[in-house]
Amino acid sequence: MRIGKRVLLILGAIVLVAALVSLYMVYSRQTGERNDLNARLSRAQTLLPGLTATKTDLENQLASAQSSLDASRAKFPEAVDSIEYGEEFFRVAYGENLYSMAAGCGVELTSLTFSPPGATTVGPVTYAVSSLTVVVRGEIGNVLKFIDAIGTGLDYELPWSLKVPWSVEVKSVSVGVGGSTTISLDLYGYKGK
């Protein structure tokens, strides 16, 4: 069987049309991808200046925070060291032993507020200082016994009293209504030179 020229031409035309359709489909797909990529590139270029400004702003904030942290560390280097030598001091500041001292003196400790530890220098000696406000309730004789116990570190039937290198300065005492007495005092802990 012999194929005629006409059939060959029709087959060639079909192959040519199929090739052209395939090329058109590839071209259309690539054109769509190119348009999509151009749109994404345009959006990225629009966002880039804002992101660059945000990055610069965040870097400036980080540098500022780092310099502030360094300044704070330089200003308060003793805060880290104070924990090592001041465990007893801070237990006193939190009132752990003041409650038992109040009970031993026959008064009820109703309120205890304190300031964060600071430092004061007298001559070449530096002391850690924490200010406390203690409110107690009880008979005036027992309140005076409690004030004396705080101020002198005397042990009124207690296993605990303030010992060197800690000391207490009673700054003020005020008697309120209902047997309530407010005592302001400073706890000093020796820190060294």
Nearest to 187 by CA among 118, 101, 121: 118
Task: Give yes or no for residue 33 having a pLDDT over 90.
Answer: yes
Residue-level pLDDT at 151 = 64
How far is 54 from 57, CA to CA, in rounded Å? Answer: 5
Residue-level pLDDT at 94 = 44
What CATH number does the domain located at 82-192 have? 3.30.70.60
Residue-level pLDDT at 47 = 92
Work out the average pLDDT over 70-86: 55
Q: What confidence tier does 122 reach under pLDDT thresholds 50, 70, 90? A: confident
To the nearest whole number, what is the mean pLDDT of the chain?
77
Query: 168 near 188, Cβ under 8 Å?
Result: yes
Distance (Å) of CA 27 to CA 21, 24, 37, 38, 72: 10, 5, 15, 16, 65
How far is 64 from 58, CA to CA, in rounded Å? Answer: 10
Residue-level pLDDT at 82 = 38
Tell me the whole-structure pTM to 2 decimals: 0.44
Domain extents in the chain: 1-75, 82-192
Give Cβ neighbours of residue 167 (< 8 Å, ≥ 6 apart). Answer: 153, 187, 188
Q: What is the pLDDT of residues 138-186, one digit of tens each?
A: 888 888 888 777 766 544 443 434 444 566 777 888 888 777 888 888 8
